[in-house]
Amino acid sequence: MTSSEYASARETTEGRVFTVTGGDWDSVTSSIDPLSNEKIVVNMGPQHPSTHGVLRLVLELEGETVIEARPVIGYLHTGIEKNLEYRTWTQGVTFVTRMDYLANMSNEAAYCFAVEKLLGIEDQITERASTIRVMFMELQRIASHLVWLATTGMELGAISMMLYGFREREYILDIFEETSGLRMNNGYIRPGGLAQDLPDSAVKKIRDLLVYLPKKLKEYEAMLSGQIIWQKRTQGIAVLDVTGCLALGITGPVLRAAGLPWDLRKTMPYAGYETYEFDVPTATTADVWGRYLVRLAEIKESLKIVEQTLDRLKPGPVWVADKKIAWPAQLALGVDGLGNSLEHVAKIMGQSMESLIHHFKLVTEGFRVPPGQVYVAVEHPRGELGVHAVSDGGTHPYRVHYREPSFVNLQAIPAMAEGALLADVIAGGASLDPVMGGCDR
């Protein structure tokens, strides 16, 4: 029989019984529980379903409690920023659209705003082109939030939401395909304008979406908001208040769910957003539940903006008037996919040798951008997306660096996860809505 200054022990028919008189209970029980202080380190990802195959979380656990969390990135590295230095300014659009592939219109728009600022042609962008840009950025925001609803629903057990979210997103991708020829990675927004005009058939689909989607949003809210399991998995989970968000540089729905209505479309307007009527949704819970409510509300606000863009859509060009910059193309769908229409090629070939040379040089060599550097930011579905573009006066970027919200927001995972349960790491990480194509650019 053993004893200590804190506890005496005696053997009974039920086993050894301690009588505790004071002191540290841990020191008393450690002698009979060799696993009391044992910790385990596990890798959640990159193959884990909730990390989508491209994020690794190294978690140190004590039982089911996370003691330390370390995000590990780099599994989707593409070298896009470096590749931009070897392409013309226009070709760069094809690369940046593949960064955050769930919000490619925002990637393209921010890049083009930066190039246009370097060129000094921001005021020359036509009204129609600017309106269509806003329309497509908001459609992209809706599509991105639908993917968030779908995947987060799946990760927290609401499998039906996965099916519905992607079903509605398909409708928006059809609109993108109708307009640009591609469902994703469109390369539609170009320096100086748009790859091509918005067809009437796409306008009809957008009007149909404005009628169709609000009904579906009510179904989502009825399915999730009143669901006790959804509430338990989201309310009070992965809390990060305003102070924590500001300390870590967190922006977007995560910051707004903590109560701060910071939205660049309102605070630092671009593309004419100051002329549109919309609200900035916020919540005060600073948890997964609040981020869910904010994103649902943002979809509704984006629908309001899209409706306003349709009302403003007037006939006109979608390129700047300067032929030294305007992309010389009349795109059409042919047997070989999307490319110059045969009529346009015949016109160029038959016009004059000078026009043919100009077309050839603009397509192969590109236009020159005056030396300088700019920083331009837009309100991406995940937060502030900034572009720092540097030109040395040539036809290629000297340097383009993105301030990517997914990359910055990932810093919040340890703050949200440490001290919480392992199951809540999935909910917290999902509530950030990271897209690793943006992180590993």
Do you find a cis peptide bond into 269, omega within 30 degrees of 0? no
**Chain segment 95-140, per-residue pLDDT in tens:** 999 998 899 999 999 999 999 999 999 999 999 999 999 999 999 9
Q: What angle do CA 315, 201, 92 make, to 5 degrees?
A: 75
Most confident of 74-78, 156-160, 225-229, 402-406: 402-406
* Inter-residue contact 418 to 67 (CB < 8 Å): yes
**72 vs 58: CA distance, rounded Å:** 7
What does the DSSP 8-state code read for residue 199? P
**186 vs 188: CA distance, rounded Å:** 5
The CATH H-level superfamily of 80-325+367-439 is Cytochrome-c3 Hydrogenase, chain B (1.10.645.10)
The structure tokens listed for 110 are: 């921010």
The structure tokens listed for 78 are: 């593409």
**415 vs 420: CA distance, rounded Å:** 10
**Chain segment 412-436, per-residue pLDDT in tens:** 999 999 888 988 899 998 999 888 8
Query: Residue 17: in which H helix or E strand, if any?
Result: strand 15-20
- The confidence score (pLDDT) of residue 436 equals 87
Closest CA to 99 of 109, 87, 86: 109
Q: Where are the domains of the chain?
A: 1-38, 80-325+367-439
Evaluate if residue 1 carries a pLDDT over 50: no
The structure tokens listed for 303 are: 């629908």
**Chain segment 190-224, per-residue pLDDT in tens:** 999 998 889 899 999 999 999 999 999 999 988 89
Evaluate if residue 403 carries a pLDDT over 80: yes
More confident of the two residues 76 and 215: 215
Q: Is 91 exposed, middle or buried (0-12, 13-18, 19+ CB in 10 A)?
A: middle
pTM listed for this prediction: 0.86
The structure tokens listed for 345 are: 């090629």
* Inter-residue contact 387 to 84 (CB < 8 Å): no
Q: In 276-341, at which residue ranges do the beta strands (DSSP E only) sit?
A: 331-334, 337-340
